[in-house]
Structure 1
Amino acid sequence: MIRSPARALTLMLLATAAPAPVTTVQAAPAKARAVTRAAVVPSVPVPMMRETIKTLASDAFEGRAPAGPKEQQVLDAIVTRFKAAGLKPGNNGQWLQPVPMVTIAAKNISPLTVGSLSFKPGADFVIGSYREAEHTEIKASDMVFVGYGITAPELGWDDYAGIDMKGKVAVILVNDPDYENADETGLFKGRRMTWYGRWPYKYAEAARHGAKAAIIVHDTFPAAYGWNVLESSGGTGNFVQTANKGFDQTEANGWMRRPVAEQIFTAGGKDFAALSAAAKQKGFKAVPLGVQANLSFDNTVTRALSHNVVGVIPGTTRANEYVLYSGHWDHLGRCKPDAKGDDICNGAVDNASGIGALVALADMNRRAGPTPRSQVFLAVTLEESGLLGSEYYAQHPVYPLARTVGGVNMDALSVIGPTRDVQVTGGDKSELTAILKKVEKDMNLVESPEDHPERGHYYRSDHFSLAKRGVPMFAVGRGTDLVNGGTAAGNAATEDYVEHRYHQPSDEYSDSWDMTGMAQEVQLYYRLGRALATGTTWPNWHPGDEFRAVRDADRATVTKAK
């Protein structure tokens, strides 16, 4: 998963409008400790957290590859620590939730031909399939320009209105219609990318409208990465297995370079620039391009089985309402050797630290006593493969999503000391903002602007698997204004980690780690999660948010059932 350099941590939470009273974090600056104490925050069990991280990041686990040779040992280690923290088995009396996955890799890819035009795979386009099929062929399929490929009823926007896409190839622009706005104004929040701007949404929406294939036009700025990223990874995808083996998806999906799209439009007598400008306006209608696409490829399908680990602290008076704490246990396994010949990507920060925090939070909540709502602790797999562990849980929830209030996701905690600030990812999307502001005030933390909101980082972490199914989520994490050293030191430390340790063998545990910043984050998570577990309200997304309708429908179902 691609992360923003200044956002190595992602916190996911859903909050109530009236949070429980909280105290200051122990690691915060001295002036923060003057806040009136209305409730005791349990001490963070730093030795337990440190030992968990050290164990999971050891060479003995060979980098915690999901479905790898050491997975069972990793699972056993997590279950042992869940038990020690006071959790009960959370999956109907079992600790594990099996997660079947499939990898589909395209091979023997033909050129993409459109009339007399011929384009090379890799250099001009990338293509693959979500279907578990041995062979894919797109033959003489009409190409249709569908603008940004968005259907957003709450915004009165439908790029597919009036067009029958059955058997056709959808040609789609990347990002949102108003992405060029320098600020966050506009129907689609301008510079801040929405879910409608992300490529997984565009593929899914094309499939929902019956398209045979979906091809997105690449442009570096709105895509937020160069063609080289697609060229190196295109054609291979990881997915959770489904009963229909992906046959509800398009037969093929991929990307083409903008100059390729311009040639195709010209071949059909169309002006790419003019139609792209028209697609930014409300009321745009899809345009048949008057040309047909041809291509074919074979697929190598590989299946594997990994596991989520699920623990629970049952609630008291409202035990059928749930608060979720999560973090991914997997990492890259064995990887490219470094200069010393070390080929184990240990993933100490990413994300043994998150599982250490998960265990610590379980212990803290046990010591604080049960809450009205049940608290679920989920160590998910396959995050590095595309959020597949959380995706599988969201598709097959042990606890109904309509009864899941929200939760806290831990990914890559700080080992560089406490900060004075936090960063919000995704902007103000839900009624959660009230609790966040309260906690920021109580902890003497200020809010810093999000780095690169145009890159859509909100849609790239495990919390999103739940958010897109309507559970209100709000992402916030530590900033870079260190208590000791300020923003200069914070930025330098973050850049150093990204350059020298992120997804490399050097992301290793050390007894010299400064755990005060990690303890600060864990206390923040505890406050937010505890407010959810003791609260009574059900926050929703703001009107007009892309996930509001799903949540409304889920909550209406629960209300009707009562």
Structure 2
Amino acid sequence: MKIPSILVIAASLLTGIAHAQDSTAIKAINAGSFAQHIKQLASDAFEGRKPFTRGEDSTIQYLAAQFRKLGLQPGNGNSYFQEVPMVSISSKPAGDLVIKGSNGTVSLQYLDDYVAATRHVQPQVNLRNTELVFAGYGIVAAEYGWNDYKGLDVKGKTVIVMINDPGFSDSTLFKGHTMTYYGRWTYKFEEAARQGAAGVIIIHETAAASYPWKVVRSGWSNSKLYLQTSDNNLHRSIVEGWITQDAAKKIFQLAGVSPDIMTQARTKGFRPVDLHLQTSLVINNTIKTSTSHNVLGVLPGSSRPQECVVYSAHWDHFGIGEAVNGDSIYNGAVDNATGTAGLLELATAFTQLPQRPARSVLFLSVTGEEQGLLGSEYYASHPTFAPEKIVADINLDVLNTFGRTKDITIIGYGQSTLDEYAQRAAAKQRRVTVKEANPEGGWFFRSDHFNFAKKGIPGLYIGPGTNVIGHEAGWGQEQIATYNRLRYHSPADEFDPATWQLDGMVEDVRLLFDVGYHLSNENSFPQWKQGSEFKAYRK
């Protein structure tokens, strides 16, 4: 397909980067090559880029071929690939989720009312007549004086918890509207397992989760991937799942408890409630153990090659799944063919430099992000550079498709001095950096830089700006909201050359080039700021 001329950006696009030595390199990041990469990665031929499928094979071979073509060295010894051992579990509940009590029963339908799966690598798991307990947010956070499990023994029981953290409803608690990791669904499952719960069920709420039920439904209706563990994940709860708000209200009604209990759980000192109900669930599993792959290419540093700046982007999406309006291929054009294409654009730019940077630059395309940041978790635990020598991770995930903006969003603003690097780069483009509009969504914990942060390595993760040139205030935020509502994690996330405006994407990635270029030539390391929960890890 011929790329419409609207996608082609003149080489004279202002970037404000004044270094003569990188002027040729910066121009290598352009809309034409961007569009070609996205078109290929998001094509039906790549089948939605799910790990363990033909889509993975096509994707990783494409990326390795591009790295090889650019002259990057293999990033993992003599290979462009890092093997990531995973297990695929397709969990299918045997029927309705039936809740029993002295006043009757409630039957919840799979996908419409609930989703459930297991991490246990077993052909079948059985949740037998477990007692149900409502445990508020399911949080244990000593630094905030909060313990939803205080005085509660949930061993062998199923806990029902709410999404997000108390700050979502009360700005005086936790970090206010900025979600902490305690608000993430991944934390809820981890903590329930630590408490010994046999099952854990999260109550979905669109605003608190920052995505509608259909996102949960589509994500849980297909097989799920996990990293292989020595105990086959038996340390986790038997069943993990979600229920809708309406389903939760039916359960509370059956228990004779007011739905206001969810409001009461937001107050400090809330104590868990035994619902005097029981539930059972059988889940049958189809298991496949296999190996997925991270793809790594490295540009060795000229004088300090042992030190490294990482650019990361996840290549995976959801593959072929439940059909929506007759389309079953989850192409993942925005999420994350854009970021993967941006990684290739950055690699192209760095290889165009007349002189290699002092530090090495690693271009890391990871697998399994959509399944729980698995590829980056594996790399962070099996790095190809010593962790103390990794300067920073600059992460690309879901780039701007609606045009140039006067601002650029820093997700997790205030975490590290990488904020200032981004601010300086933005100023050269006559732009400003802003905080994310909805920090209650916990976006800082939802992409691959987070696994670097957990190792103490600062991460920069930007989002599209919202002050779009040529449009009224609020238009950019409306575009983001529309994408999240209609296309996020659905087959509708497809490349649309007729409507996408790639000049904003180009400008944003050029900004990231500027940040990485400076980091790769400095002697110092960026630092976590006071108050960051990751500051101690770097030490």
2:117 corresponding residue in structure 1: 128
CA distance in 2, matches of 1:187, 1:27: 45
Partner of 1:159: 148
Distance 1:38 1:231, change over 3 A: closer
Normalised to the residue count of structure 1, the TM-score between the two structures is 0.78
Aligned ranges for residues 493-512 of structure 1 at < 5 Å? 503-504=490-491, 507-508=494-495, 510=497
TM alignment of 1:131-142, pairs within 5 A: 131-142=120-131
**Aligned equivalents of 1:490, 1:523: Cα separation in 2:** 20
- How high is the sequence identity, in percent, across the aligned residues? 34
Which residue matches 1:559? Answer: none
Contact 1:154/1:544 (<8 A) preserved: no
Distance 2:41 2:250 in 1: 52
2:352 partner SS: helix
After superposition, the C-alpha distances for 1:199-244 in whole angstroms (9 at most, x for unaligned) are: 1111111112222221223444433455565456556551223222
Shift in alpha-carbon separation, 1:204–1:415, aligned structure 2, 3 A: closer
Q: 1:295–1:110: structure 2 CA closer, same or farther, 3 Å change rule? A: farther
Whether the 8 Å CA contact 1:53–1:509 is kept in 2: the answer is: no
Indicate how the Cα distance of structure 1 residues 283 and 333 shifts in structure 2: closer, same or farther if over 3 A, else same: closer
Question: Residue 466 of structure 2 aligns to which amino acid in structure 1?
Answer: T
Separation in structure 1 between the aligned mates of residue 482 and residue 250 of structure 2, nearest angstrom: 43
Cα deviation per residue 1:113-137 (whole Å; 9 max; x = unaligned)?
3433422233654332221222222
Q: Match of 1:320? A: 306
| CA pair 404-210 structure 1, distance change in 2 beyond 3 A | farther
Map 1:255-274 to 2 at 5 A.
255-258=242-245, 261=248, 273=260
Cα shift at 1:468: 4.5
Q: Which amino acid letter does the alignment assign opposite residue 276 of structure 2?
A: V
Amino acid at match of 1:255: W
Any idea what SS the aligned residue of 1:43 has? helix
Distance change in 2, residues 1:69/1:268 (3 Å) = closer
The separation in 1 between residues aligned to 2:185 and 2:493, in whole angstroms, is: 32
Out of 274, 278, 291, which is 2:276 matched to?
A: 291
Task: Give, in angstroms, the shift of residue 476 of structure 1.
Answer: 1.9
- 1:448 Cα deviation after fit: 4.5
Structure 1 residues 247 and 398 mapped into 2: Cα distance closer, same or farther (>3 Å)?
farther
Deviation at 1:97, TM superposition (A): 1.6
For 2:5, the equivalent position in structure 1 comes to none
Q: What is residue 300 of structure 1 aligned with on the other side? A: 285
Residues 196 and 494 of structure 1: CA distance in aligned 2, closer, same or farther (over 3 Å): closer
Residue 22 of structure 1 corresponds to: none
Q: Is the 8 A contact 1:27 1:519 kept in 2?
A: no
Cross-structure match for 2:240: 253
The answer (yes or no) to whether the contact 1:337–1:505 under 8 Å persists in 2 is no
Amino acid at match of 2:418: L
Q: Name 1:206's counterpart in structure 2.
A: 192
Bigger RCO of structures 1 and 2 (CA < 8 A, at least 6 apart): 1
Q: Once the 2 structures are TM-superposed, how far is the Cα of residue 387 of structure 1 from its aligned partner?
A: 3.7
Give the aligned partner of residue 535 of structure 1.
Answer: 522
Matched, 1:365 2:350: yes
Q: Residue 421 of structure 1 contacts residue 481 of structure 1 at CA under 8 Å; is this kept in 2? A: yes
Find the partner of 1:330 among 301, 316, 332: 316
Is 1:475 the counterpart of 2:439 in the alignment?
no
For 1:447, what is the secondary structure of its paired residue?
strand
The alignment status of 1:352 with 2:322, answered yes or no, reads: no
Seen in structure 2, the aligned counterparts of structure 1 residues 49 and 152 have a Cα distance that, compared at 3 Å, is same
Which residue type is aligned with residue 43 of structure 1? I
2:157 maps to 168
Distance in 1 separating the partners of 2:257 and 2:93: 32
Query: Matched residues in 2 for 1:522 and 1:229: separation?
Result: 28
Query: Are 1:140 and 1:292, in contact at CA under 8 Å, matched by a contact in 2?
Result: no
CA–CA separation in structure 2 for the residues paired with 1:476 and 1:169: 38
Query: 1:56: how far off?
Result: 3.6
Q: Deviations over 1:437-459 (max 9, x none)?
A: 32232321123553433333333
Q: Is the 8 Å Cα contact of residues 373 and 533 (structure 1) preserved in structure 2?
A: yes
1:59–1:346 Cα contact (<8 Å) kept: yes
Partner of 1:93, secondary structure, is: coil
How many Å separate the matches in 2 of 1:77 and 1:263? 50
Whole-Å separation in 2 of the counterparts to 1:239 and 1:125: 20
* 1:278-334 deviation per Cα after TM superposition (whole angstroms, max 9, x unaligned): 5434455x4351635330212223325432211112235543333211223334556
Give the aligned partner of residue 139 of structure 2.
150
SS at the partner of 2:182?
helix
Q: Distance in 2 between matches of 1:277 and 1:497?
A: 30
Query: What aligned pairs does 1:361-400 form with structure 2 within 5 A after superposition?
Result: 361-368=346-353, 369-400=355-386
Matched residues in 2 for 1:523 and 1:329: separation? Answer: 20
Matched residue, 2:208? 222
Deviation at 1:420, TM superposition (A): 1.6
Name the SS for the 1:291 alignment partner. Answer: strand
Aligned partner (choices 93, 99, 113) of residue 113 of structure 1: 99
1:245: how far off? 1.9
Question: Does structure 1 residue 423 correspond to structure 2 residue 417?
Answer: no
Per-residue CA distance 1:128-184 (angstroms, 9 max, x = gap): 222122222233434444332222233343333444433232232222113124xxx
CA deviation after TM superposition for structure 1 residue 528, in Å:
1.5
Residues 266, 425 of structure 1: alpha-carbon distance in 2 compared, 3 angstrom cutoff: same
Q: Give a deviation string over 1:230-263, Cα, whole Å, max 9, x none.
A: 4565565512232222212111122345566566
Q: Which of 68, 73, 88 is residue 88 of structure 1 equivalent to? A: 73
- The change in CA–CA distance for 1:112 and 1:427 in structure 2 (over 3 A counts) is farther
TM-superposed CA distance for 1:470, in Å, is 4.2
Q: What residue ranges of structure 2 are gaps of 5+ in the alignment?
A: 1-10
**What is the distance in 2 between the residues matched to 1:528 and 1:403?**
18
What are the ranges of 5 or more consecutive residues in structure 1 without an aligned counterpart? 1-24, 557-562
User: Contact 1:129–1:235 at 8 Å: present in 2 too?
Assistant: no
1:433 to 398, 401, 419: 419
- Return the alpha-carbon distance in structure 1 between the equivalents of residues 327 and 263 of structure 2: 51
Partner of 1:517: 504
User: Aligned pair in 2 of structure 1 residues 480, 110: CA closer, same or farther (>3 Å)?
Assistant: closer
Mapping 1:428-467, distance limit 5 Å: 428-448=414-434, 450-467=436-453
TM normalised by structure 2 equals 0.81
Distance 2:186 2:134 in 1: 18
Change (3 A) 1:311 1:191: same
Indicate how the Cα distance of structure 1 residues 289 and 485 shifts in structure 2: closer, same or farther if over 3 A, else same.
closer
- Deviating more after overlay: 142-151 vs 231-240: 231-240
Q: Aligned partners of 1:299, 1:86: CA distance in 2, in Å?
A: 47
- State the match for 1:67 in structure 2: 52
Structure 1 window deviating more from structure 2 (153-162 vs 130-139): it is 153-162
Q: Is the 8 A contact 2:158 2:201 kept in 1?
A: yes
1:180 aligns with 2:134: no
Q: How far is 1:430 from its partner?
A: 3.0
Q: What secondary structure is seen at the aligned counterpart in 1 of 2:167?
A: coil
- Structure 1 segment 43-62 matched on structure 2, within 5 A: 43-45=26-28, 46=30, 49-57=34-42, 60-62=45-47
Q: Which amino acid aligns with 1:88?
A: Q
Aligned-partner residue type, residue 457 of structure 1: W
One-letter identity of the residue aligned with 1:432 = L
